[in-house]
C-alpha cells in the first residue's frame, strides 16, 4: 500500500453511471452504525440465509413491524383508493 494516493483525477459517484444508479436506488434509506448483540445478529443472518434474503432487510422489516408502519402493498393501496372514491 502506498502512503499517499493521488485523487486529483477522481470522479464523484454521481458522474459514473452505474454508481449513480446505485445511489438513486438507495434513496429513502440512511446509512447508520448500530451496535447489536452478537447472538441477535447471528440469528438474523441465519434466518436470512434460510429465507434467501439479506439480514439487513429482515432487521428493517422487524423494526417496521415493531413501530407498526409497514410498507404499502398493492392490495392495501387498491382497498384504500376504493374506499376514498366511494366516500368522495
Please say if the pLDDT value at position 39 is more than 90: yes
Top pLDDT among 50 and 75 is at 50
Q: What's this model's pTM, rounded to 2 decimal places?
A: 0.50
Cα separation values, 32 from 46, 56, 74, 77, Å = 22, 12, 29, 30
Amino acid at each position: 500500500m502506498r502512503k499517499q494516493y493521488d485523487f486529483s483525477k477522481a470522479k464523484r459517484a454521481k458522474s459514473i453511471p452505474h454508481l449513480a444508479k446505485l445511489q438513486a436506488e438507495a434513496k429513502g434509506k440512511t446509512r447508520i452504525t448500530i451496535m447489536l448483540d452478537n447472538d441477535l445478529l447471528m440469528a438474523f443472518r441465519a434466518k436470512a440465509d434460510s429465507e434467501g434474503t439479506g439480514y439487513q432487510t429482515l432487521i428493517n422489516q422487524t423494526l417496521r413491524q415493531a413501530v407498526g408502519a409497514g410498507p404499502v402493498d398493492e392490495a392495501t393501496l387498491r382497498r384504500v383508493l376504493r374506499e376514498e372514491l366511494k366516500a368522495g
